């Protein structure tokens, strides 16, 4: 049973910034910001080896045609995930090193624990480590205290493995409380949270949200929650989902998304484009080659007008330009709640 607590549930806002959006004033007057995100989950997925009822049936090459094995190992699914950690992750790391760009890793803590050489290589190469759960599991039915413990151990495990405490998070398989609960747990731990990307697919630029558990504080004591939106439409998971990608449609879709957002930026309304990846999906040779073609297309088309940034860099920039103001998405842009 899913348990919700009003102290952690954030309200809906169907208007946002409205007709003219917000110019986030990207560095060097960039017309678009690109955020590449590597979902690193391999080794943290469900398997009977970890005491789960069944092995992971979700997001691997056979997709919907896969058999479902309960109470025993699904060695094909296990092997598919192993490709991501053994080969795919390293291919993507080499590609980004070649291109001189950095990504943010939505890092499952147990996955990083089981491949510490890759975890350390990510940090060595300057990529961001962000929280993606202690394991890659649905935690929507945890009790509030179980979820608090899960959040704490997720962050501490990543710090033990990588040497870096995560400054942002996206779980994707969490409870309705996670958006408000996570920042409170970080505050209790004495840690500074930069941003959330949790379950927010509702804009193309960052924005602020008030935290309900700060309602009784004076305005100057409130910290709010900075939200950096994410997406599923450019997500390589759609190679396995319906409607799905092929290599050609994936490349065309990324180009189309970039072209539209880049044109909007040239017209005075810069945006953020997310490119989510998975080691076992985008790390396959043919898909990595299409990603490489897209990167080269961006370099040729946008050049210096493109800012490729890690989430933590986006958060630091936005906070410096648009500091938190209670009851506002950004200064000068009040919430439309209650209208």
CB 192 within 8 A of CB 226: no
Residue 21 lies in a domain: no
Rg of the chain taking only CA atoms, in angstroms? 20
Q: What is the mean pLDDT of residues 79-108?
A: 97
Residue 109 lies in a domain: yes
266: containing domain: 27-334
Domain CATH for 48: 3.20.20.370
Q: What is the dihedral of CA 64, 278, 182, 54, to 10 degrees?
A: 40
How far CA 192 is from CA of 127, 195, 310, in Å, comes to 19, 9, 17
Count of structural domains within the chain: 1
Mean pLDDT over the full length of the chain: 94
Residue 3 lies in a domain: no
User: Residue 67: is its pLDDT beyond 80?
Assistant: no
Q: What is the mean pLDDT of residues 145-171?
A: 97
User: Residue 95: is its pLDDT beyond 50?
Assistant: yes
CB 209 within 8 A of CB 170: no
Residue 15 lies in a domain: no
Q: What is the mean pLDDT of residues 7-29?
A: 95
Residue 14 lies in a domain: no
Contacting residues for 83 by C-beta, under 8 A, at least 6 apart? 280, 283, 284
At residue 261, φ and ψ (nearest 5 deg) are -70, -35
Residue 112 lies in a domain: yes
User: Residue 338: is its pLDDT beyond 90?
Assistant: no
pLDDT number for residue 66: 64
Residue 22 lies in a domain: no
Higher pLDDT, 46 or 152: 152
Residue 17 lies in a domain: no
User: Residue 14: is its pLDDT beyond 90?
Assistant: yes
Task: Read off the pLDDT of residues 199-237 as tens digits, 9 standing for 90 and up.
Answer: 999 999 999 999 999 999 999 999 999 999 999 999 999
Q: What is the mean pLDDT of residues 57-82?
A: 80
- Burial of residue 65, with CB atoms counted within 10 A of its CB: 0-12 exposed, 13-18 middle, 19 or more buried: exposed
Task: Read off the pLDDT of residues 241-288 as tens digits, 9 standing for 90 and up.
Answer: 777 887 789 999 999 999 999 999 999 999 999 999 999 999 999 999
């Amino acid at each position: 049973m899913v348990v919700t607590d009003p102290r952690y549930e954030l309200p809906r806002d169907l208007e946002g910034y409205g007709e003219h959006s917000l110019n986030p004033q990207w560095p060097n007057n960039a017309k678009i910001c690109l955020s590449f995100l590597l979902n690193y989950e391999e080794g943290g997925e469900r398997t009977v080896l970890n005491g789960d009822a069944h092995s992971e049936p979700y997001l691997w090459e056979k997709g919907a045609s896969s058999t479902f094995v309960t109470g025993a190992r699904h060695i094909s699914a296990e092997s598919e995930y192993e490709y991501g950690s053994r080969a795919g992750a390293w291919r993507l790391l080499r590609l980004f090193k070649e291109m001189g760009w950095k990504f943010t890793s939505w890092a499952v803590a147990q996955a990083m624990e089981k491949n510490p050489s890759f975890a350390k290589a990510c940090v060595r190469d300057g990529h961001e480590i962000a929280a993606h759960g202690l394991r890659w599991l649905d935690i929507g039915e945890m009790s509030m205290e179980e979820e608090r413990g899960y959040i704490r151990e997720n962050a501490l495990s990543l710090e033990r493995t990588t040497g870096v405490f995560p400054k942002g998070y996206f779980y994707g398989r969490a409870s309705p409380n996670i958006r408000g609960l996570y920042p409170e747990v970080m505050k209790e731990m004495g840690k500074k949270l930069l941003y959330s990307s949790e379950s927010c697919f509702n804009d193309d630029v960052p924005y602020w949200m008030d935290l309900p558990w700060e309602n009784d504080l004076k305005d100057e004591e409130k910290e709010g929650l900075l939200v950096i939106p994410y997406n599923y439409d450019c997500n390589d998971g759609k190679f396995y989902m319906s409607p799905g990608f092929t290599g050609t449609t994936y490349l065309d879709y990324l180009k189309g998304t970039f072209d539209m957002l880049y044109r909007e930026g040239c017209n005075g309304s810069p945006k953020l484009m997310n490119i989510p990846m998975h080691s076992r999906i985008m790390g396959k040779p043919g898909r990595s080659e299409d990603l490489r073609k897209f990167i080269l297309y961006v370099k040729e088309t946008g050049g210096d007008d493109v800012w490729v940034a890690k989430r933590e860099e986006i958060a630091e920039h936005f906070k410096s330009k648009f500091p938190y103001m209670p009851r506002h998405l950004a200064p000068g842009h009040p919430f439309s709640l209650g209208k």
